[in-house]
Amino acid sequence: MNLRGCWILFRKEVRRFTVVAMQTLLAPVISALLYLVIFSHVMADRVTMYDDLSYSSFLVPGLIMMSIIQNSFGNTSSSLVFSKVTGSITFVLLGPLSHFEFFIAFVAAAMLRALLVALAIFVAADLYIGVTVAQPIYVLVFGLLAAATLATVGFLAGVWADKFDHAATFQNFVIMPLSFLSGVFYSIHSLPDLWQTISRFNPLFYMIDGFRYGFFGQSDVAPGLSVVVMCGALAILGIIALMMLRSGYKLRT
């Protein structure tokens, strides 16, 4: 494995989002905190989740996970589309990198961005309302799996998209609705039976529910099931991404 080449491509991708840190790192943190402040003030006295858990505390894991989902997806998709539009993807493909190394570098950089945003939101939320973590291992596992999975989805979207509008359409009409309907702001047990069933077909629900279990030790479904669903989804998506790279789909002209 060409570790040096993979590391250089990873550094290039990290550099790409750190030079505009105000947009890629600070803006998502501010957005999440605005959600927390507004919803905690409006709903705090009206909703109690998991017995004695306050609604403000309930929101924190969901908002962190939503940020992981959106930032990991956005990093890989925007980077690939930009490289394709400018033509710089050709120089990357000519490098002595295997398809796996190319894939790993992009996904790892997206994961780093998403986890940096998540950490910043966690620290800010802890200062604001105080945050407890019941199962740190589950928080780490679900955070890493979610970041890797959505970075892979973003990779697929970036390879498929021919211009920025295509990637934005995928994010606005697929990722955004699925994340908002996955239990960020509510527990699915508060929904009618039909909508509870529908929610279980949303893969992002398992990410948020399992991540929330790491904070509170309580969840809507068994965390083991959530791990299996996420690992299965990541494996399938990763195989598809590598197959697309091997075939040169929309990358080699």
Pick the more confident residue, 253 or 194: 194
Pick the more confident residue, 187 or 62: 62
Count the helix, strand and coil residues of the chain and give each as a percent rounded to the nearest 5. 80, 0, 20
CB 161 within 8 A of CB 87: no
Task: Give the span between the Cα atoms of 253 and 250, in whole angstroms.
Answer: 7
> Residue 48: helix, strand or coil by DSSP?
strand
Residue 44 predicted with pLDDT over 70:
no
Residue 45 predicted with pLDDT over 80:
no
Angle between helices 99-128 and 27-43 (to 10 degrees): 40
- Closest by CA to 179, choosing from 71, 104, 83, is 71
Domain boundaries, the chain: 3-247
Task: Give the span between the Cα atoms of 67 and 21, in whole angstroms.
Answer: 15
Task: Give the span between the Cα atoms of 122 and 221, in whole angstroms.
Answer: 23
Residue 36 predicted with pLDDT over 80:
yes
Task: Give the span between the Cα atoms of 193 and 183, in whole angstroms.
Answer: 15
Quick one: average pLDDT of 224-249? 95
DSSP line for 149-195? HHHHHHHHHHHH-SSHHHHHHHIIIIIHHHHHTTTSSS-GGGS-HHH
pLDDT at 92: 85
pLDDT at 184: 87
Residue 51 predicted with pLDDT over 70:
no
Quick one: average pLDDT of 109-136? 94
Q: What is the pLDDT of residues 163-196, one digit of tens each?
A: 889 989 999 999 999 988 888 888 888 788 888 8
Angle at 173 between CA 169 and CA 176, to 5 degrees: 110
- Of 138-142, 194-198, 228-232, which gets the smallest average pLDDT? 194-198
CB 163 within 8 A of CB 90: no
pLDDT at 115: 97
- Of 109-113, 164-168, 240-244, which gets the smallest average pLDDT? 164-168
